Amino acid sequence: MNDRENKKPNLTAEAAYENAHLVAQDLVQRIGELLFDQPAPGNDEHPIHWGHVGSLNEVNNRLSSVVAFLEGTEE
């Protein structure tokens, strides 16, 4: 292998940011899909229990942290 084959591509900050932004958008979309797939109240086949409540509260805590980070209000 020569030196040219070992070099990593030079990314600009703008290109790296654009890529990271697209990844973040994909993650947000996936989160929406996963939230939509969570158990729904009133489904007798899969009744809601306190474990579901705890899990959803954990999701809310984590999402609140992301919002606070993006707003610049995180403590």
> What is the structure's pLDDT at 4?
63
The ranges assigned to domains in the chain are 9-39+47-71
* Residues composing the chain: 75
How far is 56 from 39, CA to CA, in rounded Å?
10
- pLDDT, greater one: 9 or 31: 31
Q: What b/e string do you get for 22-37 counting C-beta neighbours within 10 Å, with b at 16 or more?
A: eeeeeeeeeeeeeeee
Nearest to 35 by CA among 12, 62, 74: 62
Predicted TM-score (pTM) of the model is: 0.77
pLDDT tens figures, 25-65: 999 999 999 999 998 899 888 899 999 999 999 999 999 99
What pLDDT is recorded for position 1? 55
